[in-house]
Amino acid sequence: MNNPQIPQYRLPEGGRIDRSRPLSFSFNGRAYVGYQGDTLASALLANGVHLIARSFKYHRPRGIMSAGSEEPCAMVTMRQGSRIEPNIRATQIELYEGLVANSQNCWPSVNFDLQAIINKVSRFLPSGFYYKTFKWPKFLWMSYEKVIRHAAGMGKVATLPDPDHYDHMHAYCDVLVVGGGPAGLMAAKSAAASGARVMLADEQAEFGGTLCGRAEKISNKPAMDWVARVRDELAARPDVTLLPRTVVASYYDHNMLVLNQRTGEHLPTAEGFTPRQRIWKVWAKQVVLATGAIERPLVFGNNDLPGVMLTGAVQTYISQYGVLAGKNAVIFTNNDSAYDAAAHMHDNGIKIAAIIDNRKQTSPAAQKLSDRGILIFNNHVVYQAVGSKHVRGVNISPLNENGDKLSGGNIKIDCDLLCMSGGWTPSVHLFSQARGKLRWHETLTTFIPEKSFQQERSAGSCKGVWGLSDCLKGGAKAGAEAAKAAGFTKTRALKTPAASNHDMGDIRALWRVPQPPRSQTKRFIDFQDDVATSDIELAAREGYRSVELTKRYTTLGMGTDQGKTSNINGLAVLSEELGKHIPEVGLTTFRPPYTAQTLGAISGPERGGHFAPTRRSPVHDWHVSTGASFMPAGLWMRPAYYQQPGETMWDAIYRETKHVRSHVGLVDVSSLGKIDLQGKDSAEFLNRCYINGFAKLPVGKCRYGVMLRDDGMVFDDGTVSRLAENHFMMTTTTAKAGPVLQYLEYLLDVVWPELDVHVVSATEQWCAIAVAGPKSRELLSRITDIDMSNEAFEFMGVRQGNICDVPGRIYRISFSGELAYEIGVPSDWGLHVWESLMTAGKDLKVSPYGLEAMSILRIEKGHIVGAELNGRTTADDLGFAAMISTRKPFMGQRSLRKPALLEGERKQLVGLISLDGKTPIPRGAQIVVNPDGPTPVAMLGEVTSNCYSPHVENHIGLAIVKRGRQRIDEILWATSPLTKQRVRVKLCSPHFIDPQGERLRG
Amino acid sequence: MLIKCPWCGDRSLAEFSYQGDATIIRPSDPLSLSDNQWNEYLNLRNNPKGWHDEIWQHLNGCRKHFKARRNVVTHEIADTKPMDGSLQGGRS
């Protein structure tokens, strides 16, 4: 007994801990020892440490109140460095070797917290204090806020990248059982016996639920023997998935539930392939909710002192961890469940100084304790706990006849542990998330499930069933029902083993323990958010009637525990204040998740480079090895420019631009969308899609086309090549490759199902290389068997043949405005063809160019891209009026007659040139007549593209300007107040080079 | 949430894309319509509470469009059919 290795509050034997595996850990810098199987909370209690944290608002000392995820007080900061994580409940942390935890929201220490002065002035800090006090002067709020936020701390988050990894799983099952207590285990067993695929998830490391922490018997043997047998039976079934350490956090529509499995939280660090946490998205045909119940605190003075605990939790610390939460206990209850607990504590050596019961009669359960010689005070209450950093005793008093006032005759009783039991609240969170309807149960004084809306049913104490035997039976029935509803015919509720069936007796509701006159002692309802009865009373006095608004005003239930221990108490106090019946006031909405989820688990593997796929062209590795700088274009990585030694970025870009106009360049255009169309109606289909005609496009030719949305705005542009009578290849812009394909599919499926056309994306299958510049023909003629002469291969022609010994296609099209071709070869041959072109053109000084040079070349030519195709421009706005066919129907045609599209003030595409020849045109600038005119300055249009043009040797741009085509040669301003840049510009034709197209055709 | 593609069977919602109101039929001769009639087709949509016939595309699957009768309050899907099929079920 006097073994110095065993901390003073650890029982010499018992508990579900492994005493052969001691673990050392540190709390607030001090070293302690616990055992494998402990939680941080149980290990601290074993060492006699109760003071864990300082409260959120008043910095009051707080200890450990519960033994589960409902814990509102004992929140700590876990781990260090990049793994540091605040606001973790000590009751949920499994102990591991070397664990490091620290108190938060206190300075310099949890024992001596300077900000505890706030508690002394707390009566000047009621609900809404900050809003009421710091509202003037308005501009100072930002400064106030900083100070307030510092004082109301919730720990600090890591600022370093998270070194751990997180996993996502998708799963389907017939029956998902939530909760591995007696009801859940029976449900899983019954469902599995019918052949259903079952998943069983439980928040704790060990199955058994409440049984882990009780001295219950099943079939006259320790209940945990039964738990182990059922668990092993289930584990042996191939169609059952057991998920311990897994909280079912959220219940969504169509029986989709999200689970969080703490795969690595119980390890010093989750290494190798073990994720720290894993999110499961489970689609369950049927769900059994066996989520248990949470004990309610009682609301008396100083009920937040360390050493004031929930009665069931004290039992759990004894049975599960072999730990005494104190040695001299007072128990304060309004129901019978505390008497089982008292016997349990007494059996394990806790002295029971007294049991205080607010009920008038001694119940049969109480009589047994009385027979042991334990002092029971009926019709009494603990109205205050006494102590500064730990409970030292209680003040008790009899109640008056109505039970709403103390009737004098106070007694003080010494204790080092105060257990409270205000009844139990079924955990209906998931049931409510699934839109289930609750009913107020008068004798149980709580809400219980009434009507389900999704494919789920509740079993056990989450349904308001308290006796163990009834929970087992209810579980067996629910499991069989669920399997049957999931379509299994051989279902039956399995026979359940013998067990006790104690209920809670008659509860005498006691929502606020009366106080002596003029008492200022706080009675807490929501411990995490420091909401006391006085706050709810104030809210009611100030006119708050709705529970939802009171919640937000007082922050009741808004902590990370979502009010698991405070909801009913808060609601009851509000309804008393309003003089209403509890169900009339209503309950706040339960929202997912049930317990706080980490952002790491939610993002899972989708972070950094895995956030979205990266698309690379077949030539990508060559670009990398040549030192290209890349820029993202949607998901694509495209070379922006190829910098050579000694060059600046702009040197490289202008060199590449000039090189194309004087020699020959290659640009990788593989990212452009490519859609293959086949079928006998393909030509007719294209004719209906584009504003211009495609029916008569000859085989071996390609044509530029403009596509409208049905509202008349330009959707996309590109080329279409006719490869055979019923075979076309369409190109789209990089950004619209997906949307255009989807649009074509929609038209074929929904609008014109009678057309025989098949469309398929061929973007990834073809590597596309544009060869541009006066020497492009010379270069290509060296590597292909296609006749490249101007006579045989005219502008806008398409030829198929061998290219660098690979079958491919050459399109004579030009984006740069130079003599140019685009090569298409199967992707696997892309790199080979690119490299062959570089080799074959060495003496022609062939050179690669990137997106930046390509952009300058196209602006010089007046070709449009996404900036101009911005969804607000029509074909006429962009200068394509002449292309619009009048001889056929096409998508968007009717909208061209809309009055708004016919009015004369529309913005039109024009070119811009910097008037002084040296001032750049700011990106996104507004076109105005006089930037210094009275505001608001009328905006005539905006710059859509801008660059320095080596060809023009000036800054140029494209803009969309009101009546722009009539303003050619007008001098206006391009102004960007955001960047404080402005320049005088002359409006001109958007074609800065070769307006007649002689270069292309030469 | 699972959606039943008429061709592929039950698949995750993530594979599908909503493509609009299935009760809207594109006029076969838009040029014959008045501005108001065209506006009606192009822009105006009912916003029913309850059952609604919709077009969905199995975007990350077979890519076919199909019709679905969906309850926009409960998200239940009573029936899915190919575009030329006729939807059954669902209380109206």
Query: Is the CB of residue B37 less than 8 Å away from at least one CB of chain A?
Result: no
**Separation of alpha carbons A436 and A603, rounded Å:** 29
From the list A151, A782, A208, A724, the residue with the least C-alpha distance to A460 is A208
Contact at CB, B42 and A710, closer than 8 angstroms: yes
Percent of chain A with pLDDT over 90: 86
Whether omega for the bond prior to residue A137 falls within 30 degrees of 0, making it cis, is yes
Considering only CB atoms, which chain A residues are within 8 Å of B2?
Answer: 254, 283
- For A567, the enclosing helix (H) or strand (E) is helix A567-578
Q: Could you tell me how far CA A768 lies from the centroid of its own chain?
A: 39
Q: Which of A750, A751, A898 to mutate to test the interface with B (most CBs of B within 10 A)?
A: A750
Write out the two tokens for A199.
């998943």
Q: Is the pLDDT of residue A567 over 80?
A: yes
Closest CA in chain A for residue B77 = A254
pLDDT tier, A455 (very low <50, low <70, confident <90, very high otherwise): very high
Q: How many residue pairs from chains A and B have C-beta atoms closer than 8 A?
A: 52
**Separation of alpha carbons A641 and A650, rounded Å:** 9
From the list A187, A279, A198, A205, the residue with the least C-alpha distance to A235 is A198
Q: How many helices (H) and strands (E) does chain A have?
A: 25, 49
Mean pLDDT value across chain A: 94
SS3 A707: strand
Sequence-distant (6+) residues with CB within 8 A of A280 are A168, A169, A170, A171, A243, A246, A258, A259, A260, A261
Q: Could you tell me how far CA A718 lies from the centroid of its own chain?
A: 38
| Structure confidence by residue, pLDDT tens digits, A147-175 | 666 665 577 888 899 999 999 999 999 99
| Structure confidence by residue, pLDDT tens digits, A888-919 | 999 999 999 999 898 889 999 999 999 999 99
pLDDT tier, A569 (very low <50, low <70, confident <90, very high otherwise): very high
Residue A984 DSSP label:
E
| Residue A852 φ/ψ, nearest 5 degrees | -65, -50
Give B87 to chain A, closest Cα distance, Å. Answer: 15
Give pLDDT, residue A130: 67
Write out the two tokens for B53.
């016939």
Q: Which of B42, B72, B76 to mutate to test the interface with A (most CBs of A within 10 A)?
A: B42
Q: Are A705 and A717 in contact (CB under 8 A)?
A: yes
Pairing of strands A714-724, A766-772: unpaired
Contact at CB, A897 and B55, closer than 8 angstroms: no
Residue A532 DSSP label:
E
pLDDT tier, A293 (very low <50, low <70, confident <90, very high otherwise): very high
Give pLDDT, residue A535: 94
From the list A897, A900, A923, A898, the residue with the least C-alpha distance to A983 is A923
| Residue A826 φ/ψ, nearest 5 degrees | -55, 140
Residue A792 DSSP label:
T
**Torsion, CA A544, CA A548, CA A549, CA A550, rounded to 10:** 60
Q: Are A710 and A891 in contact (CB under 8 A)?
A: yes
**Separation of alpha carbons A645 and A637, rounded Å:** 23
| Residue A983 φ/ψ, nearest 5 degrees | -155, 145
From the list A746, A685, A697, A763, the residue with the least C-alpha distance to A725 is A697
Of B31, B38, B84, the CB nearest to A753: B84
Give pLDDT, residue A102: 94
Considering only CB atoms, which chain A residues are within 8 Å of B57?
Answer: 742, 745-746, 749
**Separation of alpha carbons A605 and A510, rounded Å:** 49
Of B1, B59, B64, the CB nearest to A749: B64
Q: Is the pLDDT of residue A4 over 50?
A: no
Mean pLDDT across the stretch A365-377? 93
**Amino acid at position A462, single letter:** C
Q: Are A588 and A548 in contact (CB under 8 A)?
A: yes
Name which of A237-246, A548-557, A946-955, B21-30 the model is least confident about: A548-557
Query: Is the CB of residue B63 less than 8 Å away from at least one CB of chain A?
Result: yes
Q: Which of B3, B36, B38, B56 to mutate to test the interface with A (most CBs of A within 10 A)?
A: B38
In our burial notation (b when 16+ CB lie closer than 10 A, e otherwise), range A120-154 reads: eebeebbbeeeeeebeeeeeeeeeeeeeeeeebbb
> Which residue is associated with the tokens 């002065």?
A117
From the list A471, A458, A479, the residue with the least C-alpha distance to A500 is A471
Of B33, B64, B65, the CB nearest to A894: B33
Give A888 to chain B, closest Cα distance, Å. Answer: 11
| Structure confidence by residue, pLDDT tens digits, B17-58 | 999 999 999 999 999 999 999 999 999 999 999 999 999 999
Q: Is the pLDDT of residue A602 over 50?
A: yes
Considering only CB atoms, which chain A residues are within 8 Å of B85?
Answer: none
Q: Is the pLDDT of residue A420 over 70?
A: yes
Residue A65 DSSP label:
-
- What are the Cα distances from residue A212, in Å, to A64, A181, A206, A221, A478? 19, 9, 8, 14, 22
Q: Is the pLDDT of residue A561 over 90?
A: no
Give A608 to chain B, closest Cα distance, Å. Answer: 22
Bridge partners of residue A826, in order along the sequence: A766
**Separation of alpha carbons A207 and A228, rounded Å:** 8
Give pLDDT, residue A402: 86
- What are the Cα distances from residue A647, in Å, to A628, A639, A650? 13, 16, 8
SS3 A576: helix
Considering only CB atoms, which chain A residues are within 8 Å of B5?
Answer: none
Mean pLDDT across the stretch A840-848? 97
pLDDT tier, A1 (very low <50, low <70, confident <90, very high otherwise): very low
Interface of A with B (CB under 8 A): 170, 252-254, 256, 283, 453, 710-711, 742, 745-746, 749-751, 753, 889, 893-895, 897-899
Q: Is the pLDDT of residue A121 over 80?
A: no
**Separation of alpha carbons A195 and A197, rounded Å:** 7
Give pLDDT, residue A133: 67
**Separation of alpha carbons A536 and A577, rounded Å:** 8
Of B29, B42, B59, the CB nearest to A711: B42
Give pLDDT, residue A57: 85
Mean pLDDT across the stretch A280-288? 97
Contact at CB, A894 and B38, closer than 8 angstroms: yes
Quickly list H helices, A439-505: 468-485
| Structure confidence by residue, pLDDT tens digits, A210-257 | 999 999 999 999 999 999 999 999 999 999 999 999 999 999 988 999
> What interhelical angle do A547-554 and A533-541 show, nearest 10?
120
Mean pLDDT value across chain B: 94
From the list B19, B1, B10, the residue with the least C-alpha distance to B59 is B19
pLDDT tier, A3 (very low <50, low <70, confident <90, very high otherwise): very low
pLDDT tier, A724 (very low <50, low <70, confident <90, very high otherwise): very high
CATH topology of domain B2-82: Folate-binding fold (3.30.2270)
| Structure confidence by residue, pLDDT tens digits, A788-837 | 999 999 999 999 999 999 999 999 999 999 999 999 999 999 999 999 99
Q: Which of A172, A251, A254 to mutate to test the interface with B (most CBs of B within 10 A)?
A: A254
| Structure confidence by residue, pLDDT tens digits, A318-331 | 999 999 999 999 99
Q: How many CA atoms are closer than 13 Å to the CA of A832, on its beta-carbon side?
A: 13
Name which of A552-561, A751-760, A799-808 the model is least confident about: A552-561
Sequence-distant (6+) residues with CB within 8 A of A882 are none
Contact at CB, B65 and A749, closer than 8 angstroms: yes
From the list A99, A90, A238, A103, the residue with the least C-alpha distance to A173 is A238
| Domains of chain A with CATH codes | 18-132 (3.10.20.440), 166-293+426-485 (3.50.50.60), 297-422 (3.50.50.60), 613-670+765-849 (3.30.1360.120), 672-762 (3.30.70.1400), 897-1001 (2.40.30.110)
Q: Is the pLDDT of residue A617 over 80?
A: yes
SS3 A964: helix
Contact at CB, A897 and B35, closer than 8 angstroms: yes
**Separation of alpha carbons B88 and A154, rounded Å:** 54
> Which residue is associated with the tokens 């703490």?
A262
**Separation of alpha carbons A720 and A969, rounded Å:** 35
